[in-house]
Chain A
Amino acid sequence: MPKGTRVRRPRKRPYTIAPRDERHGLLIVHTGKGKGKTTAALGMLVRASGYDLSVGMFQFIKSAETLYGEHIAAKRLGIDIVPLGDGFTWLSENIAADRALAERGWARVQEALALGKHDVLILDELTYCLTFGWLDTAQVIATLGARAPGTHVIVTGRDAPAALIEAADLVTEMHVVKHPYREQGIGAQPGIEL
């Protein structure tokens, strides 16, 4: 970086929340095998809650039995993180039951989108329901595309379908360079992975 006189760019005005119709409601996808897909979505939950935006988070796949650190902390911010497992095990032997669980969860997401209450809606691990064929990707994209203007939607999970990436405004691939489980056999730890 060359030496020289610093010209600091003055910030024009502080960041404020634009009215909904002036916002660019983004469809954000966090995919890839690396760590950071859900955590980055949680980071946006933190940011949005700092601006008193209405944030919702639905978790597909994750069991409702496990209370994650983020559930406890988000509650303190007044945000409900809803595991859609209903206390049942996803990825059971029974494909029909898994599909029913996914469809039921998606119905709740549709309901939330139709109400248009949320400024930011996080659909954690939704991609698995698409890649397993439990939900129809085209229908999901159409529903997300028809959401209320100014709503940000964040979808996380590995192997995001090409059509979803096509429809998205922001896509980050979390690429594993190193992972403590892979190289050192260190399992999930509270406060880091759960």
Chain B
Amino acid sequence: MTDSESLSRTDPMSPPEGPSPSAARRAPVPKRKKPGPYRVPPRAQRHGLLIVNTGDGKGKTTAALGLLLRAVGRSMRVGMFQFMKATGITEGGEYAALRRLGVEIVPLGAGCTLGVEETADDQTLAKSGWDHCAALLAAGEYDVLVLDELTLPLSYGWVDTAVVVDAIRARPVGTHVVVTGRRAPSALIDAADLVTDMRVIKHPFREQGVRAQAGIDV
């Protein structure tokens, strides 16, 4: 064992010493053809997907963030626009981390509307936010564009669902669009290629009264 190996044992993320499990095998298993490096194909050869993450469970925005992480690793141009996060407020783990990765993440909304009554303010912000995203989408600025919590302005009627669906359908070839939020309108689901309904089986707030925690929920 070399020095570096013995030192590395303080770090559980490093490979352990000892015989490899392959030693337990009687005969070596022939290796399958090694997959080549995955390259992102040119736009024309991609299947640009409309992905919708909906449902009441946790995981809609987080799954979109995970997708962004993947796409950034593939050097794709990605952006995240958040319809319900207050403009100008850029706190939360995803902001710091995505900025470090050079990913644009833009809050477009008026802030949390839970238990709050609507004003024209929200509508205007949602509309202008959508116009901004629609222009970027049409211009082909992004390979992956996340429209976080867009379903809420749609279900409140602040932004017209038919307009959004048409704009997404008419997007440049090979662009992936991810829309998140509860109560996705059926017209959006009809237009989508991939829809996941995040179902709550258990939630720490519901069962235990545990509130949002930094690093997990924000």
Chain A residues packing against B (C-beta within 8 Å): 1-9, 14-18, 23-24, 26, 28-32, 34-36, 38-51, 53, 56, 65-74, 76-77, 80, 82, 86, 88-89, 92-94, 96-97, 100-101, 104, 107-108, 111-112, 115, 117, 119-120, 152, 165, 168-180, 183-184, 186, 189-194
A-B contact pairs, 14 of them (CB 8 A): A5-B119, A42-B65, A44-B62, A50-B93, A50-B98, A72-B73, A88-B29, A89-B29, A96-B24, A97-B22, A169-B202, A171-B200, A177-B197, A184-B47
Interface: B213 (CB within 8 A): yes
Q: Is the CB of A24 within 8 A of B210?
A: yes
Residues of A within 8 Å of B52, CB to CB, are: 177
Residues of A within 8 Å of B35, CB to CB, are: 65-66
Per a CB cutoff under 8 Å, which of B25, B57, B68, B216 touches A94? B25
What is the distance, in angstroms, from B156's C-beta to the closest C-beta of chain A?
6
Q: Is the CB of B66 within 8 A of A15?
A: no
Per a CB cutoff under 8 Å, which of B25, B98, B208 touches A46? B98
Chain B residues packing against A (C-beta within 8 Å): 12-13, 15-16, 20-22, 24-25, 29, 31-32, 34-35, 37-41, 46-47, 49, 51-55, 57-59, 61-74, 76, 91-98, 100-101, 110-112, 115-119, 121-122, 143-144, 156, 176, 189, 192-204, 207-208, 210, 212-218
Q: Is the CB of A8 within 8 A of B111?
A: yes
What is the distance, in angstroms, from B30's C-beta to the closest C-beta of chain A?
10
How far is A92 from B208 in the complex, measured between Cα atoms in Å? Answer: 42
Once A1-B156, A47-B94 are accepted as A-B contacts, the answer to whether A73 and B213 lie under 8 Å apart by CB is no
Q: Is the CB of B117 within 8 A of A5?
A: yes
Q: Which B residue sits closest to A57, measured CB to CB?
A: B13
Q: Is the CB of A67 within 8 A of B117?
A: no
What is the distance, in angstroms, from A79's C-beta to the closest C-beta of chain B?
9
Closest 7 CB pairs of A and B: A43-B62, A42-B66, A50-B93, A69-B73, A39-B66, A47-B93, A43-B65
Q: Is the CB of B197 within 8 A of A49?
A: no
Q: Is the CB of A42 within 8 A of B69?
A: yes
Q: Is the CB of A97 within 8 A of B25?
A: yes
How far is A101 from B23 in the complex, measured between Cα atoms in Å? Answer: 11
Q: Is the CB of B196 within 8 A of A190?
A: no
Residues of A within 8 Å of B40, CB to CB, are: 190-191
Q: Which B residue sits closest to A72, measured CB to CB?
A: B73
Per a CB cutoff under 8 Å, which of A68, A104, A172 touches B57? A172
Residues of B within 8 Å of A74, CB to CB, are: 69, 73
Q: Is the CB of B61 within 8 A of A43?
A: yes
What is the distance, in angstroms, from A104's C-beta to the closest C-beta of chain B?
6
Per a CB cutoff under 8 Å, which of B92, B100, B198, B201 touches A15? B92
Once A77-B100, A172-B59 are accepted as A-B contacts, the answer to whether A16 and B118 lie under 8 Å apart by CB is no
How far is A83 from B75 in the complex, measured between Cα atoms in Å? Answer: 21
What is the distance, in angstroms, from A106's C-beta to the closest C-beta of chain B?
12
Once A36-B198, A94-B29 are accepted as A-B contacts, the answer to whether A170 and B74 lie under 8 Å apart by CB is no
Q: Is the CB of B214 within 8 A of A51?
A: yes
Q: Is the CB of A191 within 8 A of B197?
A: no
Residues of B within 8 Å of A1, CB to CB, are: 117-118, 156
What is the distance, in angstroms, from B153's C-beta to the closest C-beta of chain A?
11
Residues of B within 8 Å of A2, CB to CB, are: 117-118
Per a CB cutoff under 8 Å, which of B37, B57, B61, B63 touches A67? B37
Q: Is the CB of B38 within 8 A of A180?
A: no
Once A3-B118, A180-B49 are accepted as A-B contacts, the answer to whether A51 and B66 lie under 8 Å apart by CB is no
Q: Is the CB of B16 within 8 A of A107?
A: yes
